[in-house]
Every structure is written in C-alpha cells, then in structure tokens.
C-alpha cells in the first residue's frame, strides 16, 4: 500500500512539478490518485497479519524470500516457513521492503531486478542477525533469468555496476540458494505496483 504513496511523492518531485509552489494545488491527475488512496485507507482495518512464526516445536526456520522489479519500483518480501508436529507447513509474512526507481538515472529492467535482489539480500542480512538462535535455511527467488545468470556466472566478465552488486548479494546469500519463480507465483510482483487496501484484504498470494 505504501508504494503507491511513494510513487505519488516521486511524481511531485519530477520535472513536471518543479514549478509548483509549496502552497499551490498539485496537478489534478495526482490529486485524484491521492484521493482514491485516501478514501480506501479505512479498509486497512479489515487486514490481519499473523505474526507468530509457529516454531515452538523445533529450532529450524526456512526463510523463503522473493524479489521483483518493474519500471517504477522494486520490492522484496520474506516469509518464515516452519513445520508443525503433524508435518504441516506454517507460513508467516516476516518482512517486506519497497523502493521507487531512481528518477535521474533510468535503468533497464534487468538492472532494476538486480537492485531488487540487493534489497532482498540486505533485508535477509538484518533478519538473520535477529534470528541468531535458530537454525535458518535461506531460499531466494526471482523471476529474472538474467539476474540468476549474473549471480551464477563469472564476475570478471561483467561491467563494474553488475559485479559490485552481484558480489554484494553473494556475500550474504550464496548463488546456489537462488532459484527461479514464475511472475504469476511471485508475491513480490504485486509490491512493485502496489495494492489498494480493499484488494489486499483477499489477495492470498501476498
């Protein structure tokens, strides 16, 4: 939900809005976007997120982590998956993060996807420092075949931008822990566009 507001703020910082004074009205199109978001905010009260990891039966927690990017934004989300005494899996939304795409320097979608992977790696690093008492197993997923090739390829043949970021990622999460997920099954996909509270209520993928 917050990524939609971030995108509105970014539009207000764009070249089209630079001549607007602090006490002047924003463009009508942006005002309509904000009013639409604002009117839907009460539906947040209908959203419930279980926070208990359900790991009291054993010390092992799987971290299933996803990342994705669009032209406007990139995002990541991490779920904890534990096993109950009956063998059933319990999955909990653990953490998520979004960022808008830079305005000044336009990037290709593969590079945006790479930035999403960096965002995910950094968030995983924070999570693992918190959950030091547990046996953690990390699984990272992206719908970008290009990013997977960059992570698993030889770093010496890439440009500095890619090498720096892939090294940063693999220093936190080994390339062998990364796999491919279809866009339709990637929960981080919806975070790059945003969802209204009314849609999020019944959006089971997230």
What percent of the chain has a predicted confidence (pLDDT) above 70? 97
Token pair, residue 121, equals 């790696």
pLDDT digits (tens, 9 = 90+) for 90-113: 889 999 999 999 888 889 999 999
Token pair, residue 31, equals 């005002």
pLDDT digits (tens, 9 = 90+) for 115-154: 999 999 999 999 999 999 889 999 999 999 999 999 998 7
Question: What was the pLDDT predicted at 58?
Answer: 73
Indicate the number of domains in the chain: 1
Provide the residue range defining the domain that includes 202: 1-206
| pTM score, whole prediction | 0.90
pLDDT digits (tens, 9 = 90+) for 160-206: 999 999 999 999 999 999 999 999 999 999 999 889 999 999 898 99
Buried b (16+ CB within 10 A) or exposed e, 158-197: eeeebeebbeebbebbeeebbeebeeeebbbbbbbebebb
Q: Say which CATH number the domain at 196 has.
A: 3.10.20.370
């Amino acid at each position: 939900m917050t990524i939609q507001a971030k995108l509105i703020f970014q539009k207000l910082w764009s070249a089209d809005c630079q001549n607007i004074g602090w006490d002047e009205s924003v463009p009508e199109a942006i005002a309509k976007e904000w009013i639409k978001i604002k009117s839907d905010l009460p539906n947040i009260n209908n959203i419930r997120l279980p926070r208990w990891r359900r790991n009291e039966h054993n010390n092992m927690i799987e971290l299933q982590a996803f990342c994705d990017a669009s032209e406007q934004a990139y995002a990541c989300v991490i779920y904890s998956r534990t096993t109950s005494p009956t063998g059933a899996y319990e999955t909990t939304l653990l953490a998520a993060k979004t960022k808008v795409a830079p305005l000044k320097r336009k990037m290709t979608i593969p590079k945006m996807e790479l930035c999403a992977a960096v965002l995910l790696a950094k968030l995983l690093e924070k999570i693992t420092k918190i959950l030091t008492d547990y046996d953690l197993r990390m699984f990272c997923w992206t719908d970008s075949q290009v990013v997977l090739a960059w992570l698993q390829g030889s770093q010496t043949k890439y440009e500095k931008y890619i090498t720096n970021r892939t090294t940063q990622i693999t220093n936190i999460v080994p390339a062998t822990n990364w796999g491919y997920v279809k866009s339709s099954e990637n929960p981080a996909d919806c975070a790059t566009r945003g969802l209204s509270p009314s849609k999020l209520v019944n959006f089971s993928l997230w």
